[in-house]
Amino acid sequence: MSLLGLDVGTSGVKALLIDESGKTLASATSEYPLSTPHPNWAEQDPADWWKGTIEVIRSILAAPGVRAGDIKGIGLSGQMHSLVLLDKQQRVLRPSILWCDTRTDKECREITEQVGRERLRSLVSNPALEGFTLPKIIWVRNHEPEVYAKIRTILLPKDYIRYLLTGEFAMEVSDAAGTLMFDVARRAWSKDLLGILNVPPEWLPPVFESVDVCGHVTRAIAELTGLREGTPVVGGGADNPCGAVGTGVVKQGRVLASIGTSGVVFAFSDQVRVEPGMRVHTFCHSVPGAWYLMGVVLMAGGALRWYRDTFAQDEMTLARTSGRDVYDILTEGASAVAPGSEGLFFLPYLVGERTPHQSASARGAFIGATIRHTKRHFTRAVLEGITFGMKDSLSIMEGLGVEIQQIRLTGGGAKSAFWRRLQANVYGREVALVNASEGPAFGAALLAGAGTKVYSSLVDAVENAVKVTETIAPDREEAKRYAELFGIYQELYPALSSSFTRIHTLKQ
């Protein structure tokens, strides 16, 4: 018996086949391009997603010992927010406008003006932000009316793949919650919001829970891919909830801190909690009847990479000649510096910031430099600044009454022993590593298992397949020191925000 997870990501599609214990049986990845035809635009051709999906499924089924008839179910994950538009013949009308596309600043203001910020909070629990799906729809209406007139169906990436696999239109709650058209509290489309903005509700597919079976592999697709006809396909989940499922963040008290290019703080919640300023997102979890809060640092690991590429040429040369990892060399130097980098702070706002400032004009900065500071101080300040940015989200969540017992780490921030200890001390909480490292595709496979009754529930699936492999408790004295430093860090953006705005408006 096996379970297949498919993750339609931004850089490629990944397939992961696991057994019921969570052991990986086979995996495959197929990459595809991203198009940036204009500044601030990011688009992809959904045909590339489908081509990649066929490739990875065939690759999985060609692996030694794998039989299509043993696959009990398929779970889907994918990039959130990205817009897919179909006409009445179910043909794609234009390239998908992706989650990272920021052309919709004007449309976000339009939505906020028409609906009202507080009404948005009450109807959909979130503000109008460029990444969400609804502003992209309004942009098409404003700039491509001939395309808008032909729309009959609106989907998200993984749900377009579902349609091609099964012939069924469906979406599940965790992805729907990120469209800005979904009543997160009631887990249903917000007809009130759609009415205010004159977006036809019939364009939107039925919504299910993430573990619900939403279709079955058709005969034509079985012949095309080698899958067994009739294989169940469950709702699945957006990439962040699936990543959380794959690390066991399916119970109260568990939080995920993922540091990749961006940084994500994901906290389980057994009830709807909406921060008054909507500085963190409130979305539906893939766990039935549960929600989550999410904060995003736009440049987390990306800020460290920028620092490496810009200032660490000597370390990169040493890495090439010695065979060592350049990040190990950098963190080794940082470890020789005391917590707080002798008063040197780094703001990681290199591309603006999402949480907590929601500001496109925010800028990165080193603050507090003196003649005593060396490259080692600057390296440690970058690592501390990124981690402080993550703690911004945690502090907001704690203020909403979210219970935080353990923070599970993934991504590049989990690979370094030094950075793991640093996170424990900055967060002031126990941090943990788990055995699962396959990302959203693993969570999607577990959802397939829960939906096809391989497991009694999704929580049972996680407890069966996800195990903690390491825990790190915070050092009491360093945690106290970082709590003081975090207070200073939080003062820096307000002090500089007006200057950042003026800098942002300068002609480049």
Interval 197-217 mean pLDDT:
98
The pTM (predicted TM-score) of the whole model is 0.91
Alpha-carbon gap, residue 303 to 94, rounded angstroms: 33
DSSP letters, 342-384, are GG-EEE--BTBB-TTT-BSS---EEES--TT--HHHHHHHHHH
**What is the b/e burial string over 416-430, where b = at least 16 CB atoms within 10 angstroms of the residue's CB?**
bebbbbbbbbbbbbe
Contacts of 494 (CB under 8 A, 6+ apart): none
**What is the b/e burial string over 58-80, where b = at least 16 CB atoms within 10 angstroms of the residue's CB?**
bbbbeeeebebeebbbbbbbbbb
Per annotation, catalytic residue among 7, 159, 239, 392 = 239
Interval 185-208 mean pLDDT:
98
195: left (phi over 0), alpha (psi -120 to 50) or beta: alpha
| Per-residue pLDDT at 436 | 81
Residue 82: pLDDT over 80: yes
Residue range 136-156, pLDDT digits in tens = 999 999 999 999 999 999 999
Interval 307-323 mean pLDDT:
97
Residue range 109-135, pLDDT digits in tens = 999 999 999 999 999 999 999 889 999
Residue range 346-392, pLDDT digits in tens = 999 998 898 999 888 899 999 999 999 999 999 999 999 999 999 99
Residue 467: pLDDT over 70: yes
Higher pLDDT, 321 or 508: 321
pLDDT band, residue 100 (cuts 50/70/90): confident
| Per-residue pLDDT at 508 | 54
Contacts of 40 (CB under 8 A, 6+ apart): 101, 102, 103
Residue 494: pLDDT over 70: yes
- Which is nearest to 266 in space by CA: 302, 289, 238, 306? 238
Interval 418-446 mean pLDDT:
95
Interval 59-65 mean pLDDT:
97
What is the rounded average pLDDT for all residues in the chain? 96
Rg (CA), the chain: 23
Alpha-carbon gap, residue 295 to 179, rounded angstroms: 16
Interval 198-223 mean pLDDT:
98
Angle made by CA atoms 212, 245, 251, in degrees to the nearest 5: 100
| Per-residue pLDDT at 136 | 98
Domains of the chain: 2-241 (3.30.420.40), 249-435+475-508 (3.30.420.40)
Is there a catalytic annotation at residue 239?
Answer: yes
pLDDT band, residue 102 (cuts 50/70/90): confident
